[in-house]
Amino acid sequence: MEEEISLRELIEILIRGRWLIASITLVAVIVSGIFSFFVIPPTYEASVTLMASPLSAKNQPQDSAYDALLNFLSQFPQMTLETYRVQVTNPHILNQVIKELNLDPNKYSLSSLPDSINVEAIKDTNLIRITVKDTDPEMAAKIANTLSSKFVDFVSDALKEQMSKTAVFLESQLQEEQKNLDKVTEELKNFMAQPQSVNELQQDIAAKLQLLTEFKTELVKLEVQEKAIRSSLESIKTRLAGEPRYLELEKSIIDDPVMAGIAGRSKNSSDISGLTLKSQEINQTYDALSRKAAELEAELAGIVSQKTAMENSIKKTQKELESLQVAFAEKQTEYNRLQQKYNIALETYNTFLKKYQEARITTSSKIGDANIMIVSPALIPEKPVAPKKMLNISLAAVLGIMVGVFAVFFADYWKRSGIEAKMEKSA
């Protein structure tokens, strides 16, 4: 039959073993106190706070494939806060710290030193906290400050090395682009030095256009004059058609000087005084109109001749203009090709020059100081962070009570088992 132990019996067992529990707890507290106060050396903690500006690729407008290539070559490697955090304990940096501070290699080695360093990227900030623990408070501060300084130098050197390689490449390529630019410039100069350059052809075309305009204007004036003369000539011819060339006149013989002289010598002058004489005389109006018509026809002939000469001049000038325009189009096309080639070569050269200067400046500057800044250097800690004496004692007390309770229950169990064994044996 199984025996059930009530809560009262458990409490009674604990009460009976209270001295054992107290003794074990006291021993644990004393041992913990001895170790915390006299055996375990105090540990000090020094912290350095860094403010980092993460380096990443810049989103720059890229006008050409050259820009894309050069931006890729000259950009910094992408370094986030996590990248910085991991690089703090780089063996190269730790080795420099050991040499700089002349640390004991038996105590501070590349394998043991990282165990005393904690690097934390503070959430939602661009701050990095480097914490160093050591039994010597001054040494903890020295290691923390030296580590942060060497880390800044390490970032600068890494960026310098990369940008130095980029600068060497850009410099060699810049020389090639300089040669290409000189070649294209010489081609453009030779083309511009040829006879009938683009500017000269433009001036010739402008002169021909002006001359053609003047010819056409003069032709219009001649046409207006021709029209006016033809109109006047038609009017005169119409009047001439209605005018007789000669006029029929009837007059007395006496009115005629010749006949009057003859009659005067005649004895019978009184008999012939009543006689009349018919004659034809030139029509002065007709004669005047005829002369005017002749003048107009001569003037019209001159204008027609001028008009014909002007039309021939216009045709000749038009052909010359067309020839100049064809030559200009060819020259302009070639000039545009060479100018575009020159612009591309110049733009490429300037792009390489700009990137080379940026890389050279970056190489000669300390990029790490610009992107990693020591906000708060480490100070020599005054109070140790370990061992936590009161915490150790409290934990020892709790552990002693637990061990004491276990020992009391075990002793009671052992006692009960022995009694039951004896009773079974006697029975």
Split at pLDDT 50, 70, 90, the class of 336 is very high
CA distance 116 to 71: 41
In this predicted model, what pLDDT tens digit does every residue of 40-99 receive, in sequence order?
A: 788 889 999 998 876 554 445 545 555 555 554 555 556 678 888 888 888 999 999 999
Predicted local distance difference test score (pLDDT) of residue 371:
73
Instruction: Report the pLDDT value the prediction gives residue 1, as an integer from 0 to 100.
Output: 37
Neighbours of 72 (CB within 10 A): 10
Q: Which CATH number fits domain 198-338: 3.40.1350, 1.10.287, 2.40.30, 1.10.10?
A: 1.10.287
d(CA 258, CA 270): 16
Q: Give 15-186+352-404's CATH code, choosing from 3.30.70, 1.10.10, 3.30.1890, 3.30.420.
A: 3.30.1890
CA-CA distance, 427 to 419, in Å (whole number)?
12
- Residue that wins the pLDDT comparison between 110 and 57: 110
Length of the chain: 427
For 283-414, list the strands marked E by DSSP. 372-376
Instruction: Give the pLDDT of residue 105.
Output: 84
pLDDT at site 207:
92
Binned at pLDDT 50, 70 and 90, residue 104 comes out as: confident
33 vs 364, more confident: 33
Tell me if 251 sits within 8 A of 281, measured CB to CB.
no
Which pLDDT band holds residue 314 (cuts at 50, 70, 90)?
Answer: very high
Task: Write the DSSP string, 61-93.
Answer: ---SHHHHHHHHHHSPPPB-HHHHHHHTT-HHH
pLDDT digits (tens, 9 = 90+) for 364-411: 665 555 678 888 898 888 888 877 778 878 898 899 889 988 988 888
> When comparing pLDDT for 116 and 424, which is higher?
116
Cβ–Cβ < 8 Å for 144, 378: yes
How far apart (Å, rounded) are the C-alpha atoms in residues 325 and 331? 10
Describe the chain by its helix, strand, coil percentages, rounded to 5. 70, 10, 20
What is the rounded average pLDDT of the residues 111-124?
89
Place of tokens 């000269």: 200
Distance CA 399, CA 24 (A): 9
Task: State residue 57's pLDDT score.
Answer: 45
Percent of the chain with pLDDT over 90: 24
What does the block give as tokens for 74? Answer: 């000259």
Which tens digits make up the pLDDT trace of 169-205? 888 888 998 999 999 999 988 888 888 788 888 888 9
Structure tokens at 156: 């600068």
Q: pLDDT over 70 for what percent of the chain?
A: 83
Instruction: Find the helix or strand (DSSP H, E) in which 160 lies.
Output: helix 137-193
| Model confidence band, residue 357 (pLDDT cutoffs 50, 70, 90) | confident
Q: How many CA atoms lie within 13 A of 405 on its CB side?
A: 7
pLDDT at 278 over 80: no
Is there a shared CATH topology between the 15-186+352-404 domain and the 198-338 domain?
no
**Residues 19-41, mean pLDDT to the nearest whole number:** 83
Contact status, residue 148 vs residue 361, Cβ threshold 8 Å? no
pLDDT in tens, 153-164: 888 787 777 777
> Which tokens hold the place of 44?
């000090």
Which of 179, 187, 154 is CA-nearest to residue 342?
187
So where are the chain's domains? 15-186+352-404, 198-338
pLDDT band at 421 (very low <50, low <70, confident <90, very high): confident
C-alpha closest to that of 185 among 53, 28, 343? 343
What's the maximum distance between 2 C-alpha atoms anywhere in the chain?
232
Dist CA 246 CA 243 (whole Å): 9
pLDDT band at 419, cuts 50/70/90? confident
- Model confidence at 2, in pLDDT bands (50, 70, 90)? very low
What's the pLDDT at 337?
92
**CB-facing half-sphere around the CA of 140: CA atoms within 13 A:** 25
